[in-house]
Structures are given as structure tokens and as C-alpha cells.
Amino acid sequence: MKVAVPKEIGPGERRVALTPDAASTLVKSGLVVLVEKGAGAGAFHSDAAFEAAGARIVADAAALYGQADVVLKVQKPTIAEVDLLRQGTVLVSFLQALTSPDLVQRLAARGITSFGMEGIPRISRAQKMDALSSQANIAGYKSVLIAAESLPKFFPMLMTAAGTVFAARVLVIGAGVAGLQAIATARRLGAQVWGYDVRPAVKEQIHSLGARCLDFDLGLKDTEDKGGYARALSEEASRRQQQMLGEKTREFDVVITTALVPGRAAPRLVTKQTVAAMRPGSVIIDLAAEAGGNCELTVPDSVVVEHGVTIHGPTNLPATMPAHASQLYARNVTEFLREFVKDGALLLNFEDEIVAGTCVTHNGDVVSEAVKAALTGATS
Ligand code: NAD
């Protein structure tokens, strides 16, 4: 079975789906690994390093896709990339399937067996495949570095001969994987940190990182679905949340927002009125920018200054740390493959929770119930 790794073509994308170490693991397990020329360059892995690991270098994408049995990618493929795949090819990649109806339909029409890494269930057996977590962890860490660089103040408290400076006050909204890493990183830099999430279960995790919880009662029950993700709030609850957050947010030097609800636009948590009430010089890092932003004034992949507040809307921070991002993602996809490839063939059991969570298209059909429901919503 030939496992192929193309060069990522998304703008600014520097990650690669397999590192030489991960390629070597697959080669040792009897698979043939093909890597497109230059695919690892953005993450500082040379073609020679892949060859030393037992992979073969292929000159271009068309030649690579044309002989692949399995394709490993980071970013969801473009339609043009899908059209290079042979019928029956297995594709393992982030697909953002819930919000990419055109891509899903094309994958089905071309007879591709596709797996979306965003669908790995959050269960113990799948932890080593959890690519959302491995990449969100990086985004959370990097968001704090950007905030610290952008803030016209120190993060830690300092007592110097020239006077005392107080520690920066940081609020992290959304305490999932990215948010908890942001809290931990801001604490390491010496800031005073608060966390907030709509799911009450995370309070203990926020406290365990030495941060405080921003606590207000929206009077809601059932804020978490059975997968552990937040549910979308009603319009009324969302308005109350914006108002309560608005009253608190102005007290902070840095606000890092990470709130997401799978398959939906990001919840709007920081309104333009809230930004206007913040102190000039304050900084917002909106990690939900790609899903529409938690802050009303966010512009994706841009830095804007409004009312003296600097608002960053990065959409792909993992790509800015391509060495570790690729290392961790490569482990995630390698473990995924090892789970389902036995004696050089892919064995799919649709009763398996991991297959059911990740498989989007198979044999010409859309097989994921969640994606089918999203597609119906998108076309009705
Ligand atoms: P996510 O990226 O979907 O969302 C980020 C955070 O935003 C979440 O904590 C969510 O509750 C919060 N959020 C959503 N709407 C909000 C709102 N209106 N106001 C405030 N906060 C809001 O989340 P994630 O990081 O992918 O984590 C999702 C779940 O999966 C969590 O329960 C997490 O603990 C769990 N998880 C489990 C494992 C595992 O056991 N293997 C691994 C990783 C994550």
C-alpha cells in the first residue's frame, strides 16, 4: 500500500502531514511512503531526510496523487487536489466537513474514502490521534506570545529601583484545549490570569492552572453535549452573556478568546461596545477568527486597532510553529493509520467509534450522520 504525502499548498501553510521519523515508522510496518519533492521544507525536513527514513521522493503533485492508495494531508484539499485522486483512494486530513459542503460532495462523487481528523472522538483510545488537541495546544501557546509582544506593558509584576509595575491582567474566554494552554502560558509569563467558559466542568481545570474563574450565572443547564463540546446558546442567553462579559472585559489588559461550537459560526462574545470600553493599549487575540470571530471587530488574518485596542485575528497559528505542529500531527495520523491498517490493507469497521466519527465519504456516499445533517441544513 502506497501512502503519499503532498506538499501543502494553502497560503502560509508550513506544516507537513508526516515527518521523517513518522515516515520511518510506517516504512517499518511494511507500507511504501511517497513524499512530494519539497513537502517538508516549510517544517525544516529535507527530501534527503525523508529518503534516509526510507521514503521515496516524487517530483510533483500529479505524479504523487496518481499512484497513491492513501493520502495524508494537513489542510483540507482544494477541489483541484481532489480531482487528482484516483477512485477508491483513502484521504486522511483535516476536512472541516461540517462546513465544507462542496468539498464533501466532490469527495463522494469521486469515490474517495475520506477521514476528517477533526472528527476524532475525545475518548481515551483515540487520545494519541487527537489532532484538534495537538494543534489547538500550539495555538493557545502562541496566542499568549503574540499578546505579550503586542501589549505595551510587562506581563509579570516587577519591583525595580525605578518603581513597581503591576502584573498584566489576562482573561481567557473559552477554556478548552487552546484556552487552557493560553492560561498556563500566561501564568508562566507572570500575568494574573482569569478563565471563563460556558461549561461549568472546566472551573476545576482553570483553578488547577493557578488561574481564577470569571463567574457569572446565565441560569443555563445542559451547556455541554455528550461529546464534551459546548452547545450553542439561545439568542437571549447569548445577549445576556455579551452584556455580563462586557462589564468584566474592560478590567483586562489582554483578552484571549477561543470559544467555538462545532459546525457553527463562533459565538459572538466581545461586542464593539465592549471593545470601546476597554483601556487603550489593551490587546485582544481572537483564536476563533477562522469561524467568524468571537469579537465583533476581528478581521481574519489581520491586526486592527479600534478605540486604541489592538485586535489580532490569526487563523492558523499552528502553521507558525511548523516543526512541533508537524511532529505532533504526524504522530496523530500515523496512530490513526496503524489502528486501521492490518497486513498492508485498510480494515474499516463502521461500528468502531473512531471510524464512525471520522469517516465522511465512502464508496460514493456521504456516510457521516453529522455531515449528512449539516449538508441538508446547507442546501435547504
Ligand atoms: P472547542 O475548541 O470546541 O471550544 C473551545 C472552548 O470554547 C470550549 O471549552 C467551549 O466550552 C467554549 N465555548 C463555546 N461556546 C462558548 C460560549 N458561548 N462562551 C464561553 N465559552 C464557550 O473545544 P475543545 O478545546 O476542542 O474541547 C472540547 C471538549 O473536548 C472539552 O470538553 C475538552 O475538555 C474535551 N477534550 C477531551 C479530550 C480527551 O478526553 N481525549 C481531549 C481534548 C479535549
- Residue-wise pLDDT for 20-36, tens only, equals 999 999 999 999 999 99
Q: Contact 107/114 with Cβ under 8 angstroms?
A: yes
Cα 191 to averaged position of ligand 1 atoms, centre (Å): 23
Please check the confidence at residue 125 and state whether its pLDDT lies above 50.
yes
Query: What is residue 66's predicted lDDT score, i.e. its pLDDT?
Result: 95
Report the nearest atom of ligand 1 relative to the CA of 259.
7
Q: How many other C-beta atoms can be found within 10 angstroms of the C-beta atom of residue 219?
A: 7
The binding-site residues of ligand 1, defined as CB within 6 angstroms of any ligand atom, are 122, 127, 130, 132-133, 136, 173-179, 197-199, 202, 228-230, 233, 241, 258-262, 267, 269
Expressed in angstroms and rounded, the spacing between residue 17 Cα and the centre of ligand 1 is 24
Determine what percent of the chain is predicted with pLDDT higher than 90: 87
Is the predicted pLDDT of residue 341 greater than 70, yes or no?
yes
The pTM score is 0.95
Mean pLDDT of all residues in 142-151: 98
Instruction: Identify which of 133, 236, 271, 274 to mutate to test ligand 1's pocket (most ligand atoms within 8 A of the CB).
Output: 133
Catalytically annotated residues: 122, 127, 130, 133, 229
pLDDT value of residue 227 = 77
Q: How remote is the CA of residue 230 from the centroid of ligand 1, in Å?
A: 6
Question: From the CA of 27, how far away is ligand 1's center (Å)?
Answer: 35
pLDDT band for 220, please (50, 70, 90 cuts): confident
Mean pLDDT of 63-91: 97
CA 156 / ligand 1 centre spacing (Å): 28
Q: In the chain, what percentage of residues exceed pLDDT 70? A: 99
More confident residue, 78 or 344: 78
301, exposed or middle or buried, with CB in 10 Å at 0-12, 13-18, 19+?
Answer: middle
Q: Mean pLDDT across the stretch 59-76?
A: 97
Average per-residue pLDDT for the chain? 95
Nearest alpha carbon to residue 21 among 336, 345, 326, 320: 326
Residue whose CA is closest, atom 16 of ligand 1? 259
Name the residue with the closest Cα to ligand 1, atom 27.
176
Ligand 1 pocket mutation, candidates 177, 215, 264, criterion most atoms within 8 A of CB: 177
Distance 51 CA to ligand 1 centre (A): 39
Going by alpha carbons, the residue nearest to atom 17 of ligand 1 is 198
Mutate to test the pocket of ligand 1, among 124, 197, 208, 222 (most ligand atoms within 8 A of CB): 197
Q: What is the CA(297)–ligand 1 centre distance, in A? A: 23
Positive/negative CA dihedral, 168, 171, 176, 179: negative
Sign of CA dihedral 249, 243, 300, 371: positive
User: Which ligand 1 atom is at minimum distance from the Cα of 267?
Assistant: 18
Task: Judge whether residue 153 has pLDDT over 60.
Answer: yes
Distance CA 56, CA 16 (A): 15
- What does the pLDDT read at residue 83? 97
Residue 261: Cβ within 10 Å count: 17
- Using the predicted structure, report yes or no on whether residue 128 has a pLDDT greater than 80: yes
Q: Is the pLDDT of residue 200 over 50?
A: yes
- Ligand 1, residue 201: give the atom nearest the CA: 32
Q: Is the pLDDT of residue 365 over 90?
A: yes
Q: What is the band of 380 on the pLDDT scale with cuts at 50, 70, 90? A: very low
Q: Which of 346 and 269 is assigned the larger pLDDT?
A: 269
What does the pLDDT read at residue 316? 97
List the residue whose alpha carbon is closest to atom 8 of ligand 1: 176
Worst-scoring range by mean pLDDT, 56-65, 77-86, 175-184, 337-346? 337-346
Identify the pLDDT of residue 305: 98
Nearest alpha carbon, ligand 1 atom 39:
122
